[in-house]
């Protein structure tokens, strides 16, 4: 299979972690007989420095022409003084809207080897955590009509969802549940919001197409509580833009390590932008200190969700687990008794683990 990937390293540690992720992808390609065709594009501060805008047209065209996008991170102190459309993060918002990426997948996985990083008690974590938050990304209150009165004394933001918007995100969530533990929890506030009642009714309607998936509903306040009380009860969570924003951050912090968590933003054709959830970490950029695992795992998501290459995705994830089990750690996850390695060595070890798997 020939797979065309638009690579957008971005700023700070972006180039460091992307280099390692591509190394591992290359090894997966060799082992499974796929050809990855990587094209590189500028975005964020790097693009501002080169051409004066955070998201050049050439980047948009290149990404559109690819089968998937792999992004490092954008931003940093050199561009903090810029405002409005010149902000580096405009590149992310621009790519999401131009590619119609309405669905955000954020897994929160706690590897048993790193369980000491989890802020919850061991008896709450049990055998580890593996939750997938599916967040609607282009609708709801963040995109509704808003305003403020002339005297500045009152303001409003509106939340609107159409049945079609709910249907398309629900379908992705059910599909994700089918590939995992076949359990889906839809989170809303249907006891108060009319919007949530439409959300719930539509999710139930879509569930008819997925009889194998066990669907439950939960109010958002309860979901926030249950995530720290008993996170093991969740498999896939689907929710609106704002609720998902909050719950996905809560779920990821339970795992305790920002350098480990991948994400995917998808459109209706499974075209996706894959990126680690962390930022550009300017404090450690270029110092061979960044953890490349979140980016490697973002590539595994790309293989699974855009290319439907499940064995290849599993090989990457298994390689990460093996390297962690062998005791190797970058500085952010290093604890006494484990072996400290840099970004490049971590990439080498994961690539080697992919190669030597039976
Ligand atoms: P950050 O995620 O970049 O860094 C927070 C802390 O986590 C830092 O101490 C950093 O060293 C550490 N860290 C992050 N990723 C790591 C990794 N892979 N390995 C080891 N340590 C890691 O967040 P921040 O400091 O708030 O933001 C820095 C810049 O990144 C800002 O310009 C911000 O706007 C930008 N940012 C970009 C994105 C994105 O591109 N998606 C997301 C968040 C922040």
Q: Which helix (H) or strand (E) holds 355?
A: helix 343-356
Q: Does one domain contain both 241 and 133?
A: yes
45 found inside a domain: yes
Domain with 212 in it: 119-254
pLDDT at 255: 83
Select from 254, 275, 305 the last residue of a domain. 254
Q: Closest ligand 1 atom to the C-alpha of 292? A: 18
Please tell me the distance between residue 12's alpha carbon and the centre of ligand 1 in angstroms.
9
Q: Whose CA is nearest to atom 25 of ligand 1?
A: 281
The one catalytic residue among 189, 210, 274, 305: 189
112 found inside a domain: no
The one catalytic residue among 4, 130, 142, 183: 142
103-110/129-136 β-pairing: antiparallel
Q: Whose CA is nearest to atom 24 of ligand 1?
A: 279
Please tell me the distance between residue 281's alpha carbon and the centre of ligand 1 in angstroms.
4
CA distance 250 to 128: 16
Burial class (CB in 10 A: 0-12, 13-18, 19+), 147: exposed
Q: Whose CA is nearest to atom 27 of ligand 1?
A: 279
Cβ atoms of 284 and 316 within 8 Å: the answer is no
Please tell me the distance between residue 89's alpha carbon and the centre of ligand 1 in angstroms.
12
Q: Does one domain contain both 333 and 238?
A: no
Cβ atoms of 338 and 327 within 8 Å: the answer is yes
pTM of the model: 0.91
Q: Whose CA is nearest to atom 44 of ligand 1?
A: 279
Which of 255, 278, 294 gets mutated to test ligand 1 (max ligand atoms within 8 A of its CB)?
278
114 found inside a domain: no
Q: Does one domain contain both 123 and 55?
A: no
Q: Average pLDDT across each block of 10 residues of the chain; the chain has 358 residues. List them in order.
A: 94 98 97 96 98 97 97 97 90 91 94 85 86 95 92 96 97 93 98 98 98 98 96 97 92 85 92 95 97 98 94 97 95 92 98 93
Q: Which helix (H) or strand (E) holds 263?
A: strand 262-266
8 found inside a domain: yes
Report the CATH number that the domain containing residue 332 is assigned in CATH: 3.40.718.10
Cβ atoms of 3 and 34 within 8 Å: the answer is yes
Q: In which residue are the tokens 């949530």 written?
A: 196
Q: Is the CB of 54 under 6 A from ligand 1?
A: no
pLDDT at 2: 84
Nearest to 218 by CA among 245, 199, 242, 194: 199
111 found inside a domain: no
Q: Does one domain contain both 134 and 241?
A: yes
Residue 142 annotated to the active site: yes
Q: Is the CB of 30 under 6 A from ligand 1?
A: no
Q: Does one domain contain both 148 and 230?
A: yes
Q: Does one domain contain both 274 and 249?
A: no
Select from 254, 286, 303 the last residue of a domain. 254
113 found inside a domain: no
Per DSSP, 260 falls in state: G
Q: Does one domain contain both 172 and 242?
A: yes
Nearest to 274 by CA among 114, 133, 103, 28: 103
pLDDT at 253: 85
Q: In which residue are the tokens 């996905």 written?
A: 248
Please tell me the distance between residue 215's alpha carbon and the centre of ligand 1 in angstroms.
35
184 found inside a domain: yes
CA distance 127 to 300: 22
Q: Is the CB of 290 under 6 A from ligand 1?
A: yes
Please tell me the distance between residue 176's alpha carbon and the centre of ligand 1 in angstroms.
28
Select from 196, 226, 254 the last residue of a domain. 254
Domain count, the chain: 2
Q: Does one domain contain both 248 and 271?
A: no
pLDDT at 249: 86
Q: Does one domain contain both 172 and 47?
A: no
Please tell me the distance between residue 280's alpha carbon and the centre of ligand 1 in angstroms.
4
Q: Does one domain contain both 229 and 317?
A: no
Q: Does one domain contain both 136 and 53?
A: no
pLDDT at 22: 98
Q: Is the CB of 91 under 6 A from ligand 1?
A: no
Which of 77, 280, 346 gets mutated to test ligand 1 (max ligand atoms within 8 A of its CB)?
280
The one catalytic residue among 249, 283, 287, 339: 249
154 found inside a domain: yes
Q: Whose CA is nearest to atom 36 of ligand 1?
A: 279
Q: Does one domain contain both 303 and 279?
A: yes
pLDDT at 8: 98
Please tell me the distance between residue 171's alpha carbon and the centre of ligand 1 in angstroms.
32
């Amino acid at each position: 299979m020939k797979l065309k990937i638009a690579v957008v390293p971005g700023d700070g540690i972006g180039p460091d972690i992307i280099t390692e992720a591509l190394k591992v992808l290359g090894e997966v390609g060799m082992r499974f007989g796929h050809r990855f065709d990587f094209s590189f594009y500028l975005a964020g501060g790097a693009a501002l420095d080169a051409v004066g805008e955070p998201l050049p047209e050439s980047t948009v065209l290149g990404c559109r022409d690819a089968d998937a996008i792999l992004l490092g991170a954008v931003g940093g102190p050199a561009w903090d003084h810029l405002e409005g459309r010149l902000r580096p993060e405009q590149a992310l918002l621009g790519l999401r809207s131009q590619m119609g990426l309405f669905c955000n997948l954020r897994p929160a996985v706690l590897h048993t080897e790193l369980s000491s990083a989890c802020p919850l008690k061991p008896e709450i974590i049990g055998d580890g955590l593996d939750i997938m938050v599916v967040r609607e990304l282009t609708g709801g209150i963040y995109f509704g009509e808003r305003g403020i009165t002339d005297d500045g004394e009152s303001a409003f933001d509106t939340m609107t969802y159409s049945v079609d918007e709910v249907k398309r995100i629900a379908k992705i969530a059910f599909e994700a549940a089918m590939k995992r533990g076949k359990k889906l929890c839809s989170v809303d506030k249907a006891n108060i919001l009319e919007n949530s009642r439409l959300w719930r009714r539509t999710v139930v309607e879509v569930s008819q197409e997925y009889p194998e998936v066990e669907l439950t509903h939960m109010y958002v306040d309860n979901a926030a509580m249950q995530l720290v009380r008993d996170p093991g009860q969740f498999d896939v969570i689907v929710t609106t833009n704002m609720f998902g924003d909050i719950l996905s951050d809560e779920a990821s912090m339970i795992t305790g390590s920002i350098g480990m968590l991948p994400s995917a933003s998808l459109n209706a054709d499974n075209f996706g932008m894959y990126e680690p959830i962390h930022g550009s970490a300017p404090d450690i950029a270029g110092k061979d200190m960044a953890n490349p695992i979140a980016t490697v795992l973002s590539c595994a998501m790309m293989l699974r969700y855009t290319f439907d290459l499940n064995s290849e995705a599993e090989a990457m994830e298994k390689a990460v687990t093996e390297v962690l089990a062998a005791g190797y750690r970058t500085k952010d996850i290093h604890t006494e008794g484990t072996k400290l390695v840099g970004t490049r060595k971590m990439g080498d070890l994961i690539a080697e683990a992919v190669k030597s798997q039976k």
